[in-house]
Amino acid sequence: MKRFLLPFIGLCALVVATPLLAAKPAPVDSEWEEVAYGLQFMREEEKLARDVYLYYDAIYGKQTKTFSNIAVSEQKHTDAVAGLLDKYGVDDPAEKTKPGEFTIAELQALYNTLVSIGTDLRSALEVGVTIEEKDMTDIREWIEVSVDYPDIVQVYSHLLAGSASHLDAFLKALATLGEE
């Protein structure tokens, strides 16, 4: 898979964000609490993707439909996780937040960093690549935590397939830019 490098300024911001990209949730006391936290984390992480893509669509939407198309899908992802939160009676951290607002501090900081990196269309698309790669890593980890909950694993598996598709779309959009 062809990789694209962020411009120097974006790369500097990404270096600053690297600890945030690798941030793991705080340890919890029981297996269920970890599964429940995973649902909350995934709800906000899917919302983060949607919110970043909507932010960049407002700026670059006339140049590409990639952000708007994927934001629609991310809304479906966040809604699917919200359904699991409701089913299991877990508080929904995203229920009363506005676009760009997150209750998990690491995701708030990551959002703030990611929206500052996209200073042009190329770097904004590269942010999309970064988000989808992070999502895929996190989803795989939460699948492992949730193996005793087949419905959660099923939703996460759909999110994983969606992220792979989104990653391909961002890479294709970047390749198209390279041809211009």
Burial of 10 (0-12, 13-18, 19+ CB in 10 A): buried
- Kindly state the average pLDDT of the residues 159-170: 98
- Kindly state the average pLDDT of the residues 143-160: 97
Angle value at C-alpha 116, between 111 and 119, nearest 5 degrees: 140
Rounded CA separation 179/83 (Å): 42
Q: Give the other-Cβ count within 10 Å of 165's Cβ.
A: 12
- Kindly state the average pLDDT of the residues 93-97: 94
pLDDT of 18 strictly over 50: no
Rounded CA separation 163/136 (Å): 6
pLDDT at 4: 38
Cα separations (Å) of 31 from 23, 27, 144, 145?
19, 10, 12, 8
Rounded CA separation 97/111 (Å): 14
Q: Sketch the domain layout of the chain as residue ranges.
A: 32-179
- Kindly state the average pLDDT of the residues 98-105: 96
pLDDT of 86 strictly over 90: yes
pLDDT at 29: 54
Fold of 32-179: Ferritin (1.20.1260)
pLDDT at 5: 36
- In this structure, which amino acid lies at residue 111? Y
